[in-house]
Structure 1
Amino acid sequence: MDRHGLIVFLVWQSLAYGARMTLSILLVLTGLAIQVFTGSFLTGAPLLLAGNILLLVRGYDNRVDVKGFRPGVDWQKVERARLDEILRLDEGIRRWDRSVLDVTNLLGAAALLLTALALGAAALLLPSFGRIIALDAMVLLLPHWFTGIRRILRLPQVVVRAEALAQVLDASDELVSAADTIDILMLLKGSEVRVPDDVKFRVSFVGQDPRFLGLYGQVVINTVQGKSYPYFYTVLVAEKGYGLKETDESFTPPGNIVHEYGTDNEVEFIVVRQKTTRNSGYHTKGADAIAIFFSGCGLAREAAFPQKKV
């Protein structure tokens, strides 16, 4: 992913990144050269300012690229790379949001204050050429604290879901063979720009009974004191009358895992999840999520081939 394309500059936004950098450097170097030859800050300052303005950032365009998504049904099958892209983009945004060149966070405000004081003192105390350098530094550095202030669009719940599912998928090779299929499904919302609102995956086994509709891995979000926690669970789904109730009754899950059989419209299902109490269980940690997937996957493989039961 080209991260240069994520930056939205303050002026001349159509200018290519490479050309922008080249032009900015030329303007700054020319301004510095004029100052050296004339011994005056003001003679080269306009060129320094022009070169610096080209580098001022307005913001960060972190809208998810939806060109690869086809309109139509809300839940759409996507490549695993889309899941990874959400995580990479969010991590880049969070790093950018913590920048020292952002006056809206404590680190950035402190850095601005210290830099301004140091350069101001240098401009007052240093002799002529040192004063020019200090003033140049003020022109080139200080404006960046006040542009590109971090007003960012994030999809925190989708990111939490994606992180939880990615951990499970990374461990899926132990139970899901290369012949089986894992589909990543995203729920897209929005009228003009459709962005991910939810994500889950579906496991289908090669040669499975056509009435067995797959094993789904899903995440719901529990919010506690303003923080989002993932709660991962798996769902076996089959056409009503398939016989999942018998499978459910014969299942003895390990440890802190529980299971529930149910029906809904034209399907029946088994939910395999972490046990919860009034005060605990709302957060499924990575190792627990993988254990739930292993239990659900083993049960699903048994249910997908009823003719093999003894």
Structure 2
Amino acid sequence: MSDKLALDVQNLSVSFPMRGRGADGRRRALLAVDNVNFSIARGKTLGIVGESGSGKTTAAMAVARLVPKLAGNITIDGIDFGTLDNEALRQARQRIQIIFQDPYSSLNPRLRAGEIVREPLVYAGETSRAEQDRIIDELFEAVGLRPEQKALFPHQFSGGQRQRIGIARALSTRPSLIICDEPVSALDVAVQAQILNLLKSLQGQFGLTYLFISHDLGVVQHMCDDIAVMYMGQFMEYADRKSFFAAPRHPYSQALLDAVPTIDIGAQPAGGKLVDGEIPDLTLPQTGCRFASRCPHARDVCNGGVPQLQDWPGSTGHRLACHLTGTFATS
């Protein structure tokens, strides 16, 4: 792993056991993440986008070792997270924190705001009470909360303020990597912009690296340096922000963008159903492209093997997993 990378993930797969057995007598399992690879340079943001159920949050939780992986290597700041025992993992987890989607349920309602931010510091066990107080004061100021608000309970805050508490908690151990799991999707639109701008500001202030999970392409365009499009546990496209939004190459990426509502009167209606077609059953072995059943360009070859990410002809770093790379027109 290059010392310029905060996170390097290779061949990550995650499987969840299910009730019952298949036709072959084996226990059924759902392959939620299937052999994905990604990395994030220090101080940068990678966005993973896709529909609900695409596996993006599962992949992120596997990085934090909150769900067990079936296979793969996860390296954070040069440390192989997959081989750590419980004590080593407890120490190493200070390097990675999570900002959760729901600011209402992610905070302990019985703790005051200051104590919520203190919890990770107590768990780390490396600072005195006085030092913890100093860090808490510093973080409340950094996220735009007043000192006297430390004594309030979560129900006394607005949704945006609760998410600011969650952000302060995530910053408390001075992590290098923060997983942002749909951090604004539960907030009002006006508040979303404030939280996104705060996250951008804190990234520069603290030198943070973000793994940003979202279904909102507008949010991703504002926040992310690179974008990975995920469908049914696999990456369909991987590109830098400028290349992706200038010319999305994969049919699924195009469908995601076409589904975004527009106020352009002359544009085609958008914001409805994404694409028609049958969604594959991930409890069964997959022999072809997982998007083939919904793809308007699908041909027989698409069912003959799983496509691998490869560079789009004439580009460097803009990759897509498609058997028909370069053979269909893009918009």
TM-score (norm 1): 0.25
Highest RCO, 1 vs 2 (Cα 8 Å, sep ≥ 6): 2
**Highest Rg: 1 or 2?**
1
TM-score (norm 2): 0.24
